[in-house]
Structures are given as structure tokens and as C-alpha cells.
Amino acid sequence: MEIKSVGIVGAGQMGNGIAHVMALAGYDVRLNDISQDALDSAFALIGKNLDRQVSRDKISAEERDAAMGRIKTTLSLADVAQTDLVIEAATEREEIKHKIFEALLPDLKPETILTSNTSSISITRLASRTDRPEKFMGFHFMNPVPLMQLVELIRGIATDKDTYDACLAVVGKLNKTAASAEDFPAFIVNRILIPMINEACYTLYEGVGNVQSIDMAMKLGANHPMGPLELADFIGLDTCLAIMNVLHDGLADTKYRPCPLLTKYVEAGWLGRKTQRGFYDYRGETPVPTR
């Protein structure tokens, strides 16, 4: 099956990035959200990010204009359901994802492939509540989508080869690289990355080092481009906690127990960059550690 149109559910940080790269690669894109303000903001941000690529000679002005012309925003899930490939990029809460797929089902074309950009939730379980588990898989982009080269492709227990091959071809057309992952909690990247962040939280919680020393140690000692606590703020502390809970619940191993300090920050609403406070305070000219 040749995929020509892509529907994206969720116009947040991940959804607008996916729309950006899909439109630039030549796909007709329908971007959906429950809020018109969110759609307007996403469309404006995509334009701004494409302008930045033009200014850096990554793309031409003609390519930018063509990409913007391929993106249509909609409040209707029925519009999204009529595309060849649907990518769900809503918040990392399983019950919300189930509701989205259930709402899509009545209007889907028989050949439409369903995918989720989930970073940790079982693909098999999400697929089981649809009418096409064989045409369902995980399509996990990294953030920020336009810059990051990797896409995790996750097959559920029922995903067929044609579905995998069709999604693999899309990744190739995006000039990105696919990593195939089995359907276990958090897949590959977050199975390794988020427990590292959680361990950094424990290192802070136990007073081994402060925020600044922990991040500096990993940047200069392990050559990481960002420290783990700085990265946690970038990802969102609520997302980090959600993934740790998926690992803890799904694998029943105490080594995945979320750090109490991470839980406390999330309870305080200090979720990182998106709320202006996390392990750093972003309300001034330069980020200041909060601990």
C-alpha cells in the first residue's frame, strides 16, 4: 500500500513536529486537536520552524510554501480517519488513546493503518480495542521531530508484515532511520533513557550531588549533550514519571520504582520547561537550579 495522506491526532509538541516532517516529505497532512487555538498555534509554529530551515539553507522557500500548503487543520476526527495513515500523538494516557481510536473507527477506510506515537504504552493492548490489530503499530518519533533522526517502529503481537513495510517506507521517505522494537514496556530508547533520568533524580534526592553538579558530571564525564535533569525538564517530568510507572507496573521489578522526588515535582506542577519550573527555574533570563 502506498501512503499518500497522513492524519495526526494531537497538535502539541510531538504532533506539530510530525506534521512538519510529513508535509515537507510530500504527504498531505490533516492535523487534528480538540482546540482551535491549539491548531492555530501549531500551524504558526510549523511555519516559524520551516522559516528557520529556509534561513539556514536547509530547504528552499518553495519547499516551505509547498509544505505549508499540504497541511490542513481540523477539529473533526472523521476528517483524520479518511487518510491512509493515522498517527495518534495525544497525551501519554492510555484511556485517552483508547477513546481516540474508538472515535476514529466508524469513519476509517478499510485500508487505513493506525499507529500511536506512544513512548511506552503496549501497542498490542491499544490495537486490541480496534477493528484492525493487524494494521496497527507503534510509530514513535523522538523530540524535537524535525531534528532527531530516529523513529522506533513497534510491532504488536498481531501487526502484519505489510503494515510494518508501509511504515518503514514512510520513515525512509522522511530521511530518518528506523529502529525495530518488540512490544515491551517503553520499547528501546525510553527503557534505557528514563531509568537513567530516574537514577539522576535519586542521586539528587539522596544528596549525592546538586542539580548543577549532576548535570555537569554527565555532560563532561559521559559526553552527554544535555545533563539528565536538564533533559528531564525538556521531556516533561510528568512524561518521565508516566513512563517510569509503565515500566514499574509492566515489568514488576523494583529497580523501576519512580523516585519520590520526581513524584513530588509532578505533584507540585513543576513539570519542566513547559511550566517554566522543574529541576530548573526558567522564568528569568537564564535557567536557575531549583535544588
Binding residues for NAD(+): 10-15, 33, 92, 97, 119, 143, 274
Catalytic residue among 5, 16, 32, 119: 119
Catalytic residue among 16, 32, 117, 140: 140
Annotation: binding site? 10-15, 33, 92, 97, 119, 143, 274
Active site annotation includes 119? yes
For the question of residue 175 being annotated catalytic, the response is no
Give the contacts of 55 (CB within 8 A, at least 6 positions apart). none
Torsions phi, psi for 61 (to 5 deg): -65, -35
Within a 10 A sphere around the Cβ of 273, how many other Cβ atoms? 18
Read out DSSP for 101-125?
HHHHGGG--TT-EEEE--SSS-HHH
**DSSP three-state, residue 56:** coil
Is cis: bond before 185, omega within 30 of 0?
Answer: no
Q: Which of the residues 5, 152, 198, 230 is marked catalytic? A: 152
C-alpha distances out from residue 171 to 18, 153, 179, Å: 11, 9, 10
Strand partners, 281: 277, 288
Q: Give catalytic status of residue 98 as yes or no.
A: no
| Active site residues per annotation | 119, 140, 152, 190
